Amino acid sequence: MRTTSKTQCSLAAALALCLCIWGGQAHAQGGLRPEVGKPLQQAQELIRGGKYKEALGKVREADAVAGKSGNESLMIERMRIAAASGAGDVDTAARAFEAISASGGVPAADKIRMVESVAGGYYRAKEYAKAMQWYQRYFKEGGTSSANRTLMIQTQYLSGDFAGASKELMAEIQAAERNGVTPAEDRINLLMNAAVRQKDIAGETFALERLVSYYPKKEYWVALLSRMQRKPNFSDRLTLDTYRLSLATGSMVAANDFSEMTQLALQAGSTAEAKQVLDKGFAAGALGTGPEAARHKRLGDLVAKKVAEAQQAAAEEERQALAAKDGNDLVGIGMNLVYAGQKPKGLQLMQQGIAKGGLKRPEDAKLHLAIAQIIAGEGAMAQATLKTVTGADGTADMARLWSLYARRAKA
């Protein structure tokens, strides 16, 4: 994690603060008795030289003096927190801060910086539960550092408070989006990991959808599509539409996926699409090699035959579809024409079919129209169509993911 420099800066700032306060307040409040002031002065020099453990010894020497005044005790604890922070003795630094805080004589800004130092010390010591508590205290005291908020979230995650980390990360990501800022990839990934640890499907999906929106890597699309297909209500009927999105995002690589998608497209009567999928599989080297090469060739022969048959029957099938009482065939024929390159006519027939009605699955028809509009380069029209798609069987989920893809493809 990229936090070492941040916590080192916090330490340096805390040490500088304590030493500055030592020099200023010791003089302003009339100085200290020699038996207290001398070892503290020596501790200051040791701290400046990076000899923190020796400095702690000098602080203890000053603390052993009897009859200390309130000011002397305060100066001892201030020097103790500086020396202990440098020495990595965070518990001692924390106790010193509590003593300083209880005195009531510390300005709010100084308290915040001391709390930051203790929190950073616990983080460096990998005592994440304590670090989390002190970072939370930092913000309660009025701290505002975004770097410290990042550290607090990391300590929540590392200490096992996944729910707390998720809440903070969700708020952070949503705030960035409201302000028109792209959320950081590592923050979204941390949210996804926290959601996975809690078996929070909604949180995981939220994170994955942000990842494909802002950082559309193949592995993110694979994970998101896999997550969607595992939903209990997701219909197997939508497998071809899932493959379509996988192919569009460049996340399809397996030979079995290319061959299965080809066969599903043939079954759907989308012969032009089947040929495109097969061609892409061969071009990518996924098909036509290895022990399944002969089967891939047979599939290619079948596709070629089906394409030829479809071309011969196209005019009659279109005539029958136009004369039919429902629009089911018009939607299918129109989509195939879009894949065949006849985009305007294909879209017109699909819209005509939807308007005619009597559809077996109206939501599927609207989803397919939107996909065809995306293929035809009509992104704005596709987004408008996708907003109308509903359904609790995965159709609305598919529409949302296609919308994410279309938005990113346009960008």
By residue count, the chain amounts to 411
**Distance between CA atoms of 207 and 172, rounded to whole angstroms?**
12
Lowest-confidence range among 72-76, 209-213, 237-241?
Answer: 72-76
Convert 287-319 to b/e letters by CB count within 10 Å (16 or more is b): bbeeeeeeebeebbeebeebbeebeeeeeebbe
Between CA 26 and CA 123 the distance in angstroms is 31
- pLDDT beyond 70 at 148: yes
Say which residues have a Cβ less than 8 Å from residue 68's Cβ, sequence separation at least 6.
36, 76
Q: Match domain 4-155 to its CATH number in 1.25.40.10, 3.40.50.1100, 2.30.40.10, 3.30.9.10.
A: 1.25.40.10
Work out whether the CA dihedral 314, 319, 323, 327 comes out positive or negative.
Answer: positive
Judge whether residue 28 has pLDDT over 50.
no
> Could you give the CA distance from residue 163 to residue 180 in angstroms, rounded to a whole number?
26
Cα–Cα distance measured from residue 110 to residue 100, given in angstroms and rounded to the nearest whole number: 10
Q: Does residue 17 have a pLDDT over 80?
A: no
Domain with CATH 1.25.40.10 in the chain: 4-155
**CATH no. for 236-410:** 1.25.40
What does the pLDDT average to over 230-236? 92
Give the pLDDT confidence of 287-341 residue by residue, as tens digits. Answer: 999 999 999 999 999 999 999 999 999 999 999 999 999 999 999 999 999 999 9
Mean pLDDT value across residues 222-228: 93
**Residue percentage of the chain with pLDDT more than 70:** 92
Q: How far apart are the C-alpha atoms of 332 and 324, rounded to whole Å?
A: 13
- Rounded to 10°, the helix 34-48/52-63 angle is 170
Q: How high is the pLDDT of residue 107? A: 85
Mean pLDDT of 150-170: 95
